[in-house]
Structure 1
Amino acid sequence: MKLKPMMILPPLVFIGLAVLFFWGMQREDPGALRSTREGGPVPALTLAAFGDSPAFTVEDLADGEVKLVNFWASWCAPCRAEHPHLVTLAEEGLDIYGINYKDEPAKAQKFLDDLGDPYARIAADPSGRTGLDWGLYGVPETFVIDGKGIVVKRFAGPISASILENIIRPAIETARARSD
C-alpha cells in the first residue's frame, strides 16, 4: 500500500501542535498576566465615595505604609472565595484598600455585611475608569503597594491559601523592605 501525502498530514499537524503545547507549558509561569504597573507608581484614581466613606487618593497610597489595593464586586464569585484571606490579612494589621468595581452600592454593602469588612479604606469605581487606568483584567485583582506608592506586585484572580503564602506574603515582605 502506497502512502498518500494527505494521510501523513494529520499526524504531522498533531505532532507539531503537541510540540508547541509542550513548549508553552515549559515557560516560567504560563498563568501569570504581565503587568506594566509593577515597579511603577500607582496609577490615577477616579473614585467615588462608598457609603459614608470618602474616596481615597494616590497620596493615601504613598503614606509610608505597605498596603494592598483590592478590586472586588458583590457579583463576583471568586471575590467571595478570596474574602476570608483578605479578612485574615486585615486581622494581622495589614491595611487593605478596597475598590468596589462596577457594582450596585446596596449589593456591595450587603456583601460586606454578610462576610465582614476587611478594608481600612474603601471607595467605588462605578464607571470602571480606575480599573482601566490600573490595567484591570477583571475582578478580583490585588496590588501590593509599598510605602512610597510603588506597585510591587499585581495578582489577577482570587487569592487562595497557596497564593497568599507563595505570592502575596512574599510581595508584602518585599514591599516592607523597600519602604524602610
Structure 2
Amino acid sequence: MNRSLLFIPLGIFVLMAVVFWIGLGQEDKTSLPSPLIDHPFPEFSLTVLEDSRAVTKADIVGAPALVNVWATWCPTCKQEHTFLNELASQGVRIFGINYKDNDEKAKDWLMSFGNPYIWNLSDPNGQLGLELGVYGAPETFLVDSKGIIRAKHIGDLNPKVWQTLKLQFEAME
C-alpha cells in the first residue's frame, strides 16, 4: 500500500477545519433575531409603577413608541438612561417595563435620574418579559401605532444605535 494514501484523511480533516473556521466568522454577532418582529405586542394587564393603575396593550397603541425593558439592578440601564431622557425631551414616546425589580427601588431611581417614560409597567415576576423573549435588561422594542413590534434592540440604546433605529422609527409615523 502506498504510504501517501495515509495522508488523505488528514488532508480532508484540514480542509474541513479551514472551511469551518472561515464559516465561524460569517455570522452576525451583533443581533439576536426575535420571533416577535412583525407580530403584535403581547396582550398584558399589569399595574403602572407610578400610580398602581391597571393598563393593557390597548394603552400603548395609537402612535409609534419605544418599549424599554429596564431595572435598577442593571448597570447598563443606568448608562442608557440619560439618552432615554434626551429622546423623551424630543417627543419620542417611551414606555418602560420595570423587569424583575423592586417597585420602591424603581420609583427612587426615577426620582433620582429622571423619568423618560410615559408610564412604567411593574413586571416583578418577569412574565411580560418572558412573553417578549427578553434575555435581560436593557432591551428596547420599536412598536408601531397598531401595536406591531417592528424591531428589537438588545443592550443600551445610545446615539449610535439610535441613528439606525431612528430611520425605522420615523418610517412608522
Bucket of the pairwise TM-score, normalised by the shorter protein: 0.7 to 0.9
1:72 to 70, 84, 107: 70
Aligned partner letter, 1:52: D
Report 1:136-175 matches (<5 A).
136-166=134-164, 168-175=165-172
TM-score under structure 2 normalisation?
Answer: 0.85
Structure 1 pair 23/116, CA: closer, same or farther in 2 (3 Å)? same
Quick check: 1:49 aligned with 2:29? no
Answer whether contact 1:90 1:118 (CA < 8 A) is retained.
yes
TM-fit CA distance, 1:57:
1.4
Which residue of structure 2 lines up, in the alignment, with residue 81 of structure 1? 79
Structure 2 residue aligned with 1:95: 93
Unaligned segments of structure 2, at least 5 residues = none
- Separation of aligned partners in 1, 2:18 and 2:162: 33
Secondary structure (helix, strand or coil) at the match of 2:172 reads: helix
Counterparts of 2:67 and 2:52 in 1: how far apart (Å)?
A: 16
- Partner amino acid for 1:88? E
Structure 1 partner of 2:105: 107
In 2 relative to 1, CA 20–42 (structure 1 residues): closer, same or farther, beyond 3 Å?
same
Residues 71, 106 of structure 2: 8 Å contact kept:
yes
Deviation at 1:160, TM superposition (A): 2.4
Residue equivalent to 2:20: 20
Q: Aligned-residue CA RMSD in angstroms?
A: 2.5
Q: Supply the distance in 2 between the matched residues of 1:18 and 1:90 (Cα, whole angstroms).
A: 49
Distance 1:77 1:17, change over 3 A: farther
2:38–2:148 Cα contact (<8 Å) kept:
yes
CA contact (8 A) 2:45 2:57 kept: no
The higher radius of gyration belongs to 2
Q: Secondary structure at the match of 1:31?
A: coil
Distance in 1 between residues matched to 2:156 and 2:140, nearest whole Å = 8
Maintained 8 Å contact 2:49/2:119: no
Letter in 1 for 2:163: E
Classify 1:25/1:147 alpha carbon distance in 2 versus 1 (closer, same or farther; 3 Å): same
Cα deviation, residue 24, structure 1? 3.0
| Cα distance in structure 1, aligned partners of 2:129 and 2:42 | 10
Could you tell me the TM-score, scaled by structure 1's length? 0.82
Identity of aligned residues (%): 36
Q: Can you give the 5+ residue segments of structure 1 that lack an aligned partner in the other structure? A: none
In 1, the alpha carbon distance for the partners of 2:169 and 2:36 equals 16
Confirm whether residue 129 of structure 1 aligns to residue 127 of structure 2.
yes
